[in-house]
Structure 1
Amino acid sequence: MPASPDRTPDTVRRSELPGGVRLVTEAVPGVRSVALGIWIGIGSVDETTEQAGAAHFLEHLLFKGTRRRTAAGIAEEMDAVGGELNAFTAKEHTCYYAHVLDTDVALAVDLLADVVTDAEFAHADVEVERGVVLEEISMRDDDPEDLLGDLFDETLFGAHPLGRPVIGSEDSIRAMSRDTLHSFWRGEYTTPRMVVAAAGNLDHDRIADLVAAALGPAAGEHFGARAVPPRTATGVRPARSGALALQSDESEQAHVMLGVPGAGRHGPGRPALAVLNAALGGGLSSRLFQQVREQRGLAYQVYSSTVRYADSGALSVYAGCAPERLGEVVAVVRDVLAGVTSEGLTEAEVARAKGSLRGGLVLGCEDTASRMNRLGRAELDHGRQRSLAESLTRIDAVTPDEVAALAAELLDQPLTAAVVGPYDDVDDLPESLRELA
């Protein structure tokens, strides 16, 4: 049984189980499913140069079989109940998850725990999945937008681990040994780093019993250990401003990303940043969409986005356009950013952005998988759950003056740019980009 359950907002409950495993659940009335994930607070930023891509490689490898199940057996058990089984890797965490009927939650818990803690790691499977990961890298290289995202991170964050692609490189994956992968798995995928998040038609105490039993052997290796606290900033500010990178690619379009570094997730101003991003390039009424696409027809796709890690963050703008229009697109984007920097947003823009965020937040909680993701990320990143009502209140409290102050501070920095497109050299790029270098 769990030790000292702690009630958190609304229908969310939290327990810390033996071995430091944290369990966070949310009962969702009226549904017949449960989404359940085992989150590990380890991602690509925790890898050494030799291990680059190991966390993502493991995401593939752990499903290849355990001491109790073959790869085919894992797939057959989940298919037999009509469930979904998958995983994803990010820069600061990894998640293995299942989505099943509420009657099959015991199977989901047992199967996920088996995969995460008791994988077989056969040499032949390592070689098979090495080929699959290399194919995935090739697919990334064939997708200019994905390639651009990795190039932008590398340019903005430099030598810091945040600048490395989650997927690793062709060289690092080819060179990675089975022993390197096994050591990374055994050394990092420990129960004090694990969060089990579940949402749906469930009973917290029953889930706690299932998880404690399934993770019991792994937890026993860390008897008496407490949960690893949320990742904090290292004090090293990795992001840099004012750089330009080009990846030549014989694509039909030019793809560009412009951005600036920002505060990490533990810094101030998160709700104001969300409002700024929504008004800048988060929807059809945003300034960027209206100026670049609607009024000038320069690009089909243009948007802004934000990321916040423990050490740093970023606000960036993406656009894809015909190569001959790249100069004008970049000039318009820079003008929009300069206008927001000097004048802020209008009250109407702030009101629309806040309404958009409120609607997106509520609609995003309509399914159990989204709720499970919200639980897992909040526990790993902050060690606490924020209720939907609290989140909505924080959005409502943002003022135009607060957004203007943040925009003036954030967007006044030199822009960093990355380009993927049919250009042989930086000198071939339009002046509106070259002058950023």
Structure 2
Amino acid sequence: MRGIRSLNNISKRCYAAARPNEALTEAYAGQKSLAVSLPAPQDVQVSKLPNGLVIASLDNYTPLSSVGVFVKAGSRYETVENQGVAHVLRLAANLTTKGVSAFKLCRGVEALGASLSASLSRETMVYTAECFRDGLDNILEYLVNVTTAQEFQPWEVNDLTPRVNTDKARAKLSPRIGVIEKLHEAAYKNALSNSLYCPDFMVGKVSPQQLHSFVEDHFTTSRMAVVGLGVKHSDLKELGERFLSVRGGAGAPQIKVSYRGGELRVQNKNDLVHAMVVSEGAVAGSAEANSYVVLQRILGAGPHVKRGSNITSKLGQGVAKATTQVFDVSAFNAFYADSGLFGVYTISQANTAGDVIRASIAQVGAIAQGAVTADDIARAKTQAKADYLMSIESSSGLMAEMGAQALAAGAYQAPETILQAIEAVTQDDVVKAARKFVDGKKTMAASGHLISTPFVDEL
């Protein structure tokens, strides 16, 4: 205790005492002002090269640079013969290429203090490199190698099998991922019905020849976009002209998806039932898509706080009247290049699953009958605009948005344009979107102890 008491004897200093008669908010007269000229902010620049490659960049003067190569090579482009090839290709991003070995690639990226990653969606494969500005030239060399100079050595491809199994095991731990996969499998006849994960019967069966063939068919300049943050536009154009031009051509044609509707159920002993009921929605980038965005916020897009409730949403309020044993309810919305899915996603106890699903669908039906106010529309628009602006605050979110627009339209719409499109949605647009869900052919996927879960034809 003596040591603690001794703290009282420490002399107190008042650093403001040196300027007893001067306001602390004013600059000190003896201090020289440092005139620093900040660079002018830039807008996103987009160029399309003669070979079809789209270049989009934003030099935000950050000390970190990020470059992404977006390719129309998602799982929707797989065929019956090569199912799972996109999953294996994503895992093969760090293998030996014609320019560098896997060892040199790993050590070289680490020596730069950089990162090199690959991600996959149903429509797009994305290779992303992040590093300090002074190491940009070196990391771009590695990025070009992993996207245009793959080797796919047989022994290295075989070694990917445990990683494929690990990915599938992780996906099975998430009921939401499992239900979404089953939903797409039931909703479409082809293309978008393909899973993001390699099917069991193809694990260890995807050959180097299939990987090479998939890359040759889809990794072409007319199906690619290069996006950079913290990078000069001229540097990215030079990259596209010098290196990526080796993959010229139109590539394989895109197969138009066919929505069919249907149902898939996974029976297990889980106490919570995860269920999705959807109809075909809107195409990405269309005016109708904005109506679904607003409708989703009216119904409830899910809690924004971890372990928070969604009771203030239309779905939450409607379901609460039917049962008190609800875990979560929200609206599901997915856009693709030539289709979309919209509906409800419920998580509930097994014995109340039927009541929760029916109450959720009834809420969409009420909006289809016009039970939505101007205040509901205004609030939903505000939420939709806020969600969009927050999604592009991070570098990864902004790059994803730039890449998606560059691949789809070869151009970039400023956030102001997107916000104006959301604001232009009317009450009639929202009612029409809800009516399309109610009248459309339904698709349902459910997982859990389905003792009280109705079939899709019973809804």
Q: TM-score range by the shorter chain?
A: 0.7 to 0.9
Residue 224 (structure 2) aligned to one of 176, 191, 194: 194
Change (3 A) 1:176 1:376: same
Look up the equivalent residue of 1:109 and give its one-letter code: L
Deviation readout 1:297-351 (Å, 9 max, x if unpaired): 4333322121222332110321222212212211221221221221242211111
Aligned pair 1:277/2:296, yes or no?
A: yes
Work out the CA distance in 1 between the residues paired with 2:438 and 2:130: 41
In the TM superposition, structure 1's runs of 4+ consecutive aligned residues that sit over 6 Å from their partners are none
Question: What secondary structure sits across from 1:66 in the alignment?
Answer: coil
- Structure 2's unaligned 5+ residue stretches are 1-40, 303-309
Does structure 1 residue 435 correspond to structure 2 residue 458? yes
Q: Offset at 1:59? A: 1.0
CA shift digits 1:101-129 (9 cap, x unpaired): 23332233221111111122111111111
Distance 1:115 1:99 in 2: 14
The 1:264–1:115 alpha-carbon spacing in structure 2 relative to 1, beyond 3 Å, is same
Q: What corresponds to 1:310 in structure 2?
A: 337
Aligned to 1:203: 232
Distance 2:71 2:411 in 1: 16
Equivalent in 386, 401, 410 of residue 359 of structure 1: 386
Cα distance between partner residues in 2 of 1:73 and 1:124: 17
Aligned residue for 2:30? none
Unmatched runs of 5 consecutive residues or more in structure 1: 1-8
Matched, 1:109 2:140: yes
> How many Å separate the matches in 2 of 1:171 and 1:400?
48
User: 1:12 maps to which residue?
Assistant: 44
**Which letter maps to 1:204?**
H
Q: Distance in 2 between matches of 1:18 and 1:59?
A: 28
Assess, with a 3 A threshold, how the Cα gap between structure 1 residues 316 and 103 changes in structure 2: closer, same or farther.
farther
Q: Tell me the residue number matched to 2:20.
A: none
User: Is 2:157 the partner of 1:126?
Assistant: yes
Of 50, 57, 61, 2:92 maps to 61
Tell me if the contact between 1:344 and 1:403 (Cα under 8 Å) persists in the aligned partners.
no
Alpha-carbon spacing, 1:253–1:269, altered in 2? closer, same or farther (3 Å): same
Contact kept, 8 Å, 1:337 with 1:411, in 2: the verdict is yes
1:326, 1:204 → 2: CA distance?
A: 53
Letter aligned with residue 458 of structure 2: E
Contact 1:28 1:368 in 2 (8 A): no
Matches within 5 A, 1:163-202: 163-199=193-229, 201-202=230-231
Q: Distance in 2 between matches of 1:342 and 1:429?
A: 28
Return the offset for 1:247.
Answer: 0.8
* Alpha carbons of structure 1 residues 142 and 361: separation in structure 2 relative to 1, 3 Å: closer
Which of 99, 121, 126 aligns to 1:90? It is 121
Cα distance in 1 between the residues matched to 2:85 and 2:130: 25
Distance apart, 1:295 and its partner CA: 8.9
Q: CA deviation at 1:171?
A: 1.0
Q: Distance in 1 between matches of 2:239 and 2:219?
A: 19
Residue 416 (structure 1) shift = 2.1
1:23 is displaced (CA, Å) by 1.0
2:375 aligned partner, one-letter code: A
Q: CA deviation at 1:145?
A: 1.5
Question: 1:74 is aligned with what amino acid?
Answer: L
Deviations along 1:38-90, one digit per CA (max 9) or x if unpaired, are: 11112222221011121221111131122332333323333333333211112
Counterpart Cα distance in 2 of 1:232 and 1:176: 22
Q: Which protein is bigger by CA-based radius of gyration?
A: 2
Query: Could you tell me how far 1:290 is from its partner in structure 2?
Result: 3.5
Aligned position for 1:332: 359
2:274 pairs with one of 241, 244, 255: 255
Tell me if the contact between 2:365 and 2:434 (Cα under 8 Å) persists in the aligned partners: no
The one-letter code matched in structure 2 to 1:279 is I
Q: How does 1:195-274 map to 2 (within 5 A)?
A: 195-199=225-229, 201-215=230-244, 219-220=245-246, 222=248, 234=256, 238-241=258-261, 243-265=262-284, 267-274=286-293
Q: Distance in 2 between matches of 1:47 and 1:431?
A: 33
Residue pair 2:297, 2:380 contacting (<8 A) in 1 also: yes
User: For the structure 1 residues 208 and 430, does the alpha-carbon distance in structure 2 shift closer, same or farther, using more than 3 Å as the test?
Assistant: closer
Structure showing greater relative contact order (alpha-carbon pairs closer than 8 Å, 6 or more residues apart): 1
Which sits farther off after the overlay, 112-121 or 80-89? 80-89
Quote the Cα distance in structure 1 between the aligned partners of 2:231 and 2:320.
Answer: 46
Equivalent residue for 2:436, pick from 409, 431, 435? 409
Residues 382 and 190 of structure 1: is their aligned pair in 2 closer, same or farther, counting only changes over 3 Å? same
Task: Tell me if the contact between 1:344 and 1:407 (Cα under 8 Å) persists in the aligned partners.
Answer: no
How far apart, CA to CA, are the structure 2 residues paired with 1:417 and 1:220?
44
Instruction: State whether residues 276 and 445 of structure 2, in contact with CA within 8 Å, keep that contact through their aligned partners in structure 1.
Output: yes
Residue 80 of structure 1: aligned partner: 111
Amino acid of the structure 1 residue aligned with 2:259: A
Q: Hey, what does 2:19 align to over in structure 1?
A: none
Contact 2:69 2:126 in 1 (8 A): yes
- The alignment's TM-score, normalised by the length of structure 2, stands at 0.82
2:82 counterpart residue number: 51
CA distance in structure 2 between the partners assigned to 1:298 and 1:146 by the alignment: 23
Distance in 2 (alpha carbons) for counterparts of 1:131 and 1:101: 33
SS in 1 for 2:119: strand
Distance 1:404 1:58, change over 3 A: same
